[in-house]
Structure 1
Amino acid sequence: MLANSPAASGAFAVQHLHVGIPGTPFLLDVGELIADGLLAVFFFTVAVELQYELTSGELGSARKAVLPAIAAAGGVVAPIAVYLAVAAPAGLAAGWPVPTATDIAFALGVLAVFGRGLPPTVRVFLLALAILDDIIGIVFIAVLFAHGVNLWLLVLSVVLVVVFGVLSRRLGGPGGRAIVAAMIVLAVAAWAAMLASGVHATIAGVLLGLAIAQRPGLRARYTLEPWVNGVILPLFALSAALVAIPAIGGDGLSPVFWGIVVALPVGKLVGITGAGWIAQRGLRVPRAARLPFGDLLAAGALGGIGFTVSLCWPISRSRGTRCATRPCSACCADRASRSCWR
């Protein structure tokens, strides 16, 4: 609503206000700083929770862990198929990565508010598959659409993450405060190297959350969670939803628009539910340990939330190439060589 109100010009001016070091990859506008920077903190907290579930929680066995992985694969393949069926005949197949990623922030938010009657296993299942298919989507972008990825900076980021993880296992001994300070510096440096490499910077948050030792990781998550829920996610929602609704000409809406509108809810629902149901039987999961079909259906429906994922983010590290209004129906059609990302 804000983007289509009299206050829209002021809101867009704030969103596009540049912050950082001119002439470097670190010159970001406020919208990019929220999506590339603050959201990395959210992904860090989610990855810490996923690490706990994979080692000590509901996904502690290989059989339990592979189930959300298969569901995530189904939740990627089905939306691609639906999108291509709708948009490819019009020659607009290039936007197929758009509906691949689950909008994890809003899916978990909706689950927290409205899913109190669902068992905790559903939340863990959704958490795991959302992160996995987010990573799959980012890999699609990095491999297929991101040009000029700096492998040296990417390797540097990974090395810094490893050192961060090693230091986290020395906490509890002498020099604890100095180690914490060093870990914060390493985390920021790993994020910066990932951003400068041309790969989506939130991947650094995922890697850091998986690398940190479990006890300090859970402590960090407990400390950061109020800020994530109270500040970061609302800011991200406001920035990502700041999209002006364009006037529709005589030609109507692009097939890209319809491809995304159908592929996200329908593709995710069918893909996640179907793949999860088949996987449970193919893996011979004991009946008592299986997720009921209704719970799989709920996870599939939450996976199809496209509140922010389907907003346009052309993958190009050269700043200023993002569409002014950013509806994917217009952007992908005009920039067929690029993809769209949140």
Structure 2
Amino acid sequence: MRISKNPLRGQQFPAVLLLLAAGLGLLLANLPSHDALAAVLDLHVAVPGTGLDLSLAHWVSDGLLALFFFVVAVELRHELTHGELDSVRKAVQPAIAAAGGVLVPIAVYLLIAGGAETSAGWPIPTATDIAFALGVLAMFGRGLPPAVRVFLLALAILDDIIGIVFIAVLFADDLQWGMLAGAVVAVAAFWFLSRRLGARGHAAIAVAMVVVGAVCWGLVALSGIHATIAGVALGLVMAPTPAERSRHALEPLVNGGILPLFAFVAAFVVIPATSATSLSPAFWGIVVALPVGKIIGISLFGWVALRIRPRGTAPALPFADLLAAGALGGIGFTVSLLLANLAFADTPALRDQAILGVLVGSLLSLVVAGVVVSLRARGYRRRGGGGVPSTLQPTTAEESS
């Protein structure tokens, strides 16, 4: 049987696309074309009859990126109910490692950039980009046991949960409770409609769900909570079968369009014409916290989990594999870029340096991860690919592909 696979549903090609888009954004921001492109990105588009009036750049980061978070939420819900995090025994080591991968980068960042002006950036180095990390693993990890990918997937999902909480709690601004209540009603209506959609789908209900989803997004945006949280809420409450169909349909658009576009817009920053010593502590805090804080936090806390895990828990990763996962965890990228935009929204100069820090820190992590993963994979291949046995096998057709 002939099998056709869309590269936008894979792992390697979307990761390369993200890197190229970010590089292009950074390049064009530092060429004479900067002013013309900046004017386009700053162009405001309003929705008549509402309070929504956003620049094109914010329509990307607040609007289109909500679809990315919707897809993430669908995967989160699956993993929490039927996947790699559906029991304490499965989740114990990645959960403890994820805690280390958040706490240690925060500590590293605050040690470097804990001053009053820059301390607000502490959430930035806590994120792990699922698509990018898995893409690098796929490129360099041939021969690694399946347990490494399962662990990294669980770790990145837990990181996403933490990042979503940070976005919802830390960056809410002047809450409008009436709008928020309306958004809750819209989420409930979306939940109800998704359970009436049926296995075959129904065009009228599907259209109604799109309308309700758009209304929900608008209400969340007007409520003072970051609008991407609407995508999270809708993805979590949607009935499983239509949610998986929607995720499958949206995946090529998200991987091939939305995420590269966001990476381009987020990386469209001017490199400061200054010496390295004059760069903000926020830049250095992120550059160090992503590759160093992540690899130390994930591997150290993962090793502790290896020692204290309950009896009967699925085989845990050895320390050398934890180092590989920790290096991959430092690739913050998408969510870290969003957090950088939010943390320093009122100080554009700091925001731009924080974004540069995310790009440099993620690139350093990518290089380190490529080396560590390659060496570890080569060792497994030399031993015949035995590796660590794992009872945590992929649970969906896509995970197995």
| TM-score, reference length from structure 1 | 0.82
Structure 1 residue corresponding to 2:310, chosen from 284, 295, 301: 284
Counterpart CA distance in 2 for 1:59 and 1:250 is: 42
Q: Which residue of 1 aligns with 2:353?
A: 328
Q: Which residue of 1 aligns with 2:274?
A: 248
Task: Give the share of equivalent positions with the same residue, in percent.
Answer: 60
CA shift in 2, pair 1:183/1:70, >3 Å: farther
Q: Which residue of 2 aligns with 1:335?
A: none
Structure 2 residue corresponding to 1:271, chosen from 297, 304, 308: 297
Counterpart CA distance in 2 for 1:239 and 1:124 is: 31
Counterpart CA distance in 2 for 1:157 and 1:164 is: 10
Counterpart CA distance in 2 for 1:67 and 1:202 is: 29
State the superposition RMSD in angstroms.
3.2
Structure 2 residue corresponding to 1:217, chosen from 220, 236, 243: 243
Q: Which residue of 1 aligns with 2:360?
A: none
Q: Which residue of 2 aligns with 1:40?
A: 66
CA shift in 2, pair 1:111/1:31, >3 Å: farther
Query: Is 1:15 equivalent to 2:41 in the alignment?
Result: yes
Counterpart CA distance in 2 for 1:138 and 1:48 is: 13
Instruction: Give SS of 1:242's match.
Output: coil
Where in structure 2 are there 5+ consecutive unaligned residues?
1-26, 358-401
How far does the alpha carbon of each residue in 1:179-220 deviate from its partner, in whole angstroms, 9 at most, with x for none?
212211121122222221222222221222221121111111
Structure 2 residue corresponding to 1:179, chosen from 187, 205, 211: 205
Contact 1:25 1:195 in 2 (8 A): no
- Once the 2 structures are TM-superposed, how far is the Cα of residue 170 of structure 1 from its aligned partner? 2.1
How far does the alpha carbon of each residue in 1:86-125 deviate from its partner, in whole angstroms, 9 at most, with x for none?
1236874333222223334533443454455555554454
Contact 2:89 2:314 in 1 (8 A): no
Counterpart CA distance in 1 for 2:146 and 2:216 is: 32
Contact 1:72 1:272 in 2 (8 A): yes
Counterpart CA distance in 2 for 1:99 and 1:92 is: 13
One-letter amino acid matched to 1:234: P
Structure 2 residue corresponding to 1:313, chosen from 337, 341, 347: 341
One-letter amino acid matched to 2:98: A
- Once the 2 structures are TM-superposed, how far is the Cα of residue 328 of structure 1 from its aligned partner? 3.4
Q: Which residue of 2 aligns with 1:297?
A: 323
- Once the 2 structures are TM-superposed, how far is the Cα of residue 43 of structure 1 from its aligned partner? 1.6
Structure 2 residue corresponding to 1:234, chosen from 242, 249, 260: 260
CA shift in 2, pair 1:152/1:287, >3 Å: same
Counterpart CA distance in 2 for 1:91 and 1:17 is: 29
Query: Is 1:73 equivalent to 2:123 in the alignment?
Result: no
One-letter amino acid matched to 1:328: Q
Instruction: Give SS of 1:167's match.
Output: helix
One-letter amino acid matched to 2:341: W
- Once the 2 structures are TM-superposed, how far is the Cα of residue 331 of structure 1 from its aligned partner? 11
How far does the alpha carbon of each residue in 1:252-272 deviate from its partner, in whole angstroms, 9 at most, with x for none?
222222111111221122222
Query: Is 1:190 equivalent to 2:220 in the alignment?
Result: no
Contact 1:101 1:133 in 2 (8 A): yes
In terms of mean alpha carbon deviation, does 5-14 or 33-42 score higher? Answer: 5-14
Q: Which residue of 1 aligns with 2:284?
A: 258
| TM-score, reference length from structure 2 | 0.71
Counterpart CA distance in 2 for 1:198 and 1:68 is: 33
Query: Is 1:154 equivalent to 2:188 in the alignment?
Result: no
One-letter amino acid matched to 2:247: R
Contact 1:20 1:26 in 2 (8 A): yes
Contact 1:244 1:325 in 2 (8 A): no
Counterpart CA distance in 2 for 1:288 and 1:131 is: 18
Q: Which residue of 1 aligns with 2:380?
A: none
In terms of mean alpha carbon deviation, does 22-31 or 321-330 score higher? Answer: 321-330
- Once the 2 structures are TM-superposed, how far is the Cα of residue 157 of structure 1 from its aligned partner? 2.2
Counterpart CA distance in 1 for 2:269 and 2:75 is: 32
One-letter amino acid matched to 1:83: Y
Q: Which residue of 1 aligns with 2:3?
A: none
- Once the 2 structures are TM-superposed, how far is the Cα of residue 145 of structure 1 from its aligned partner? 5.0
One-letter amino acid matched to 1:268: K
Alignment of 1:42-121 (within 5 A): 42-88=68-114, 92-115=118-141, 117-119=143-145, 121=147
CA shift in 2, pair 1:157/1:114, >3 Å: farther
How far does the alpha carbon of each residue in 1:28-67 deviate from its partner, in whole angstroms, 9 at most, with x for none?
1121111111111112112212222222233332322354
Counterpart CA distance in 1 for 2:167 and 2:73 is: 20
One-letter amino acid matched to 1:158: V
